[in-house]
């Protein structure tokens, strides 16, 4: 089966410092890769390169067989970074309609309303985002990412600052997406939530990939085992 | 999404955001009016000498007020990391740049169209039959300021001192366009026709617009993604 995400010998330098060192990994359709690692391991840097937000200093990244900066590839990627990526001075429905238009949806407003209903934000659809609670903003960000039915989902710390209801919603959406053939790559420090979802695990340690393989039952039973075996035990 | 569709979606978003907050519009209009008022006290508006530099005065006011608009162009995307969401979307960097430039251009034109009658009132300017040509000069020079400002707004968006850095970087680049605008405006205010030696300034403005628009469209992807 062809890989949806193929990372081949990627290096990333910030000045002289190599933030990523010769990363090689692949992800198949329907797989969910938990990208783990301590702070500064390079998870966000790798996800930004995969999303086309940053360029690799060396090496090549192909998403769905294309250069990630090509428009057709970006149309099929959903990225949720550290920020929620929605505008405070626009309403919830205006935000989603805007991104629906940018992603070329035929009926952006209709898709926006559907996702507002799915994320429980329909009652506040015309309220400005600046009036939203943190949890509501996160749910809107989740709706933004799923709005265009992406085939590759890149999520950087998606569970951070979510309440239990929003975590459950996100886990359900990710399961549905992966079940539908979507490739999910998510970085997180919340091992248990990530490992419950993951089919594969990649561990970054000081910019290098120290483990990459299927998620095993041992990892679920003892989430700290991976760090003790392949990473920095401290 | 087509280039024009993407650009217009981005421009409409920026205009809607600015209309809701009026952050830069209020500041730029107030600044322009206050400076015009202060200069009218400092110089005798009826003197011949004042008429000779009135074009320069007008464009300095527009340039200073313009940076207030242009500073917000990409800075508007900083809260919630909206710039990442935009850059990750299928909209090309060129369309993003064009959308941002169009929104800033329309905002800057709004400031100028408010300031121009006030300038005419304070400095006893009779626009006469030259208003159409003056409008052409205003449009060309405003677009020149906008493309330069939008490009450097993208370049400085992640700098801590971007409010300071933008004018420092932008003003030297704007000098040719501002000089042309000042010369042409002074000529038009004096009631003279744009002909002979003055035509070169009009050509310079047009050339400046074409070159820097092409550079902006071509380079913005590198500026945003590296």
Task: Please give the Cα distance from A190 to A215 (Å, whole number).
Answer: 15
Closest partner CB to B85 (pick from A69, A85, A101): A85
Query: What's the average model confidence in pLDDT over B35-44?
Result: 86
Q: Quote the pLDDT of residue A19.
A: 94
Contacts of B24 in chain A (CB under 8 A): none
Q: Is A135 on the interface with B (CB under 8 A)?
A: no
Task: Please give the Cα distance from A82 to A78 (Å, whole number).
Answer: 14
Helix axes A164-179, A134-146, angle to 10 degrees: 10
Q: Is the pLDDT of residue B121 over 60?
A: yes
Q: Is the pLDDT of residue B226 over 80?
A: no
Residues of B within an 8 Å Cβ radius of A: 1, 5-6, 9, 13, 16-17, 20-21, 79-82, 84-92, 221, 225-226
Closest partner CB to A74 (pick from B9, B88, B221): B88
CB B5 to CB A99 under 8 A? no
* Average pLDDT of chain A to the nearest whole number: 91
DSSP letters along B56-107, please? HHHHHHHHHHHHHHHHHHHHTTTGGGHHHHHHHSSS-HHHHHHHHHHHHHHH
Q: Quote the pLDDT of residue A1.
A: 67
* Average pLDDT of chain B to the nearest whole number: 91
CB A104 to CB B90 under 8 A? yes
Sign of CA dihedral B130, B136, B142, B144: negative
* Cross-strand bridge partners of residue A36: A203
Task: Please give the Cα distance from A3 to A29 (Å, whole number).
Answer: 7
Q: Is the pLDDT of residue A10 over 70?
A: yes
Query: What's the average model confidence in pLDDT over A1-16?
Result: 90
3-state secondary structure of A169: helix
- Tell me the per-residue pLDDT of B5-23, one tens digit each, with 9 for 90 and over: 999 999 999 999 999 999 8
Q: What HEC string does A206-229 produce?
A: CCEEEEEEECCHHHHHCCCHHHHH
Q: Is A54 on the interface with B (CB under 8 A)?
A: yes
CB B13 to CB A87 under 8 A? yes
Q: Name the A residues in 13-52 with CB < 8 Å from any B CB.
A: 48, 51-52
Q: Nearest residue of A to residue B20 by CA position?
A: A89
CB B17 to CB A89 under 8 A? yes
Q: Quote the pLDDT of residue B40.
A: 84
Q: Quote the pLDDT of residue A225.
A: 80
Percent of chain B residues past pLDDT 70, beyond the cut = 98
CB A77 to CB B88 under 8 A? yes
Contact in structure between A41 and A61 (CB atoms under 8 Å): no
Distance from CA of A52 to the nearest CA of B (A): 6
Percent of chain A residues past pLDDT 90, beyond the cut = 67
Distance from CA of A226 to the nearest CA of B (A): 31
Q: Quote the pLDDT of residue A233.
A: 53
Q: Quote the pLDDT of residue A173.
A: 92
Rounded to two decimals, what is the model's pTM? 0.91
Closest partner CB to A71 (pick from B21, B87, B92): B92
Q: Is the pLDDT of residue A197 over 70?
A: yes
Cβ-based neighbours of A207, under 8 Å, separated by 6 or more: A18, A19, A20, A21, A41, A42
Q: Is the pLDDT of residue A121 over 90?
A: yes
Question: Would you tell me how many other CB atoms lie within 10 Å of the CB of residue A9?
Answer: 12
DSSP letters along A42-110, please? SHHHHHHHHTTSS--SEEEEEETTEETTSHHHHHTEEEE-SS----TTSBHHHHHHHHHHHTT-SSHHH
Q: Is the pLDDT of residue A234 over 70?
A: no
Closest partner CB to A90 (pick from B5, B17, B90): B17
Distance from CA of A86 to the nearest CA of B (A): 6
- CA-atom Rg of chain B in angstroms: 18
ipTM of the complex: 0.90
CB A85 to CB B80 under 8 A? yes
Distance from CA of B65 to the nearest CA of A (A): 23
Size of interface A-B (CB pairs under 8 A): 85
Question: Choosing among A83, A103, A154, which should be mutated to test the B contact, i.e. which has the most B CBs within 10 A?
Answer: A83
At B198, the pLDDT band (50, 70, 90 cuts) reads: confident
- Tell me the per-residue pLDDT of B58-101, one tens digit each, with 9 for 90 and over: 999 999 999 999 999 999 999 999 999 999 999 999 999 999 99
Asked which of A59-68, A147-156, A202-211, B47-56 is least confident by mean pLDDT, the reply is B47-56
Cβ-based neighbours of A104, under 8 Å, separated by 6 or more: A75, A148, B1, B90
Q: Nearest residue of B to residue A70 by CA position?
A: B90
Q: Quote the pLDDT of residue B152.
A: 94
- Tell me the per-residue pLDDT of A198-233, one tens digit each, with 9 for 90 and over: 999 999 999 999 988 898 888 888 877 878 877 765
B92: Cα separation from own chain's centroid: 23
Closest partner CB to B16 (pick from A90, A102, A144): A90
Q: Is the pLDDT of residue A158 over 90?
A: no
- Tell me the per-residue pLDDT of B144-169, one tens digit each, with 9 for 90 and over: 999 999 999 999 988 888 888 888 99
Contacts of A137 in chain B (CB under 8 A): 80
Contacts of B84 in chain A (CB under 8 A): 48, 51, 53, 79, 81, 83, 85
């Amino acid at each position: 089966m062809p890989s949806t995400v193929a990372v081949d010998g990627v290096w990333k330098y910030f000045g002289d410092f190599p933030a990523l060192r010769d990363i090689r990994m692949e992800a198949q359709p329907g797989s969910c890769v938990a990208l783990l690692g301590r702070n500064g391991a390079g998870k966000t840097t790798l996800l930004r390169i995969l999303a086309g937000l940053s360029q690799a200093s060396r090496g090549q990244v192909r998403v769905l067989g294309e250069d990630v900066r090509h428009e057709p590839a970006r149309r099929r990627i959903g990225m949720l970074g550290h920020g929620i990526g929605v505008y405070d001075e626009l309403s919830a429905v205006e935000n989603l309609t805007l991104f629906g238009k940018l992603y070329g949806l035929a009926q952006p407003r209709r898709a926006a309303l559907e996702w507002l209903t799915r994320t429980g934000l329909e009652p506040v659809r015309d309220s400005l985002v600046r009036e939203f609670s943190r949890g509501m903003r996160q749910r809107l960000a989740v709706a933004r990412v799923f709005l265009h039915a992406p085939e590759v989902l890149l999520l950087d710390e998606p569970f951070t600052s979510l309440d239990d209801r929003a975590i459950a919603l996100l886990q359900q959406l990710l399961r549905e997406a992966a079940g539908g053939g979507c490739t999910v790559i998510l970085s997180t420090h919340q091992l248990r939530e990530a490992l419950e979802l993951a089919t594969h695990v990649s561990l970054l340690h000081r910019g290098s990939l120290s483990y990459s393989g299927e998620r095993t039952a041992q990892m679920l039973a003892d989430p700290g085992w991976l760090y003790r075996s392949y990473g920095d035990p401290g | 999404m087509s280039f024009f569709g993407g650009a217009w979606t981005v421009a409409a978003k920026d205009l809607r955001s600015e209309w809701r907050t009026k952050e830069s519009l209020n500041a730029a209009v107030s600044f322009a009016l206050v400076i015009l008022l202060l200069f009218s006290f400092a110089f005798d508006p009826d003197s011949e000498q004042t008429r000779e530099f009135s074009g320069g005065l007008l464009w300095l006011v527009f340039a200073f007020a313009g940076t207030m608009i242009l500073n917000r162009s990409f800075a508007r995307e900083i809260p919630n990391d909206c710039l990442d969401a935009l850059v990750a979307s299928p909209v090309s960097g060129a369309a993003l740049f064009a959308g941002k430039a169009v929104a800033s251009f329309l905002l800057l034109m709004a400031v100028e169209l408010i300031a121009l009658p006030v300038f005419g009132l304070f400095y006893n300017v009779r626009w006469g039959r030259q208003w159409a040509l003056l409008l052409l000069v205003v449009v060309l020079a405003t677009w020149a300021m906008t493309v330069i400002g939008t490009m450097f707004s993208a370049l400085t968006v992640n700098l801590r001192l971007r409010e300071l850095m933008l004018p420092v970087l932008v003003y030297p680049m704007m000098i040719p366009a501002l000089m042309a605008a000042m010369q042409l405006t002074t000529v038009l205010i004096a009631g003279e026709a744009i002909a002979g030696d003055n035509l070169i300034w009009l050509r310079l403005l047009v050339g400046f617009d074409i070159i820097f628009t092409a550079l902006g469209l071509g380079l913005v992807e590198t500026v945003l993604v590296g």
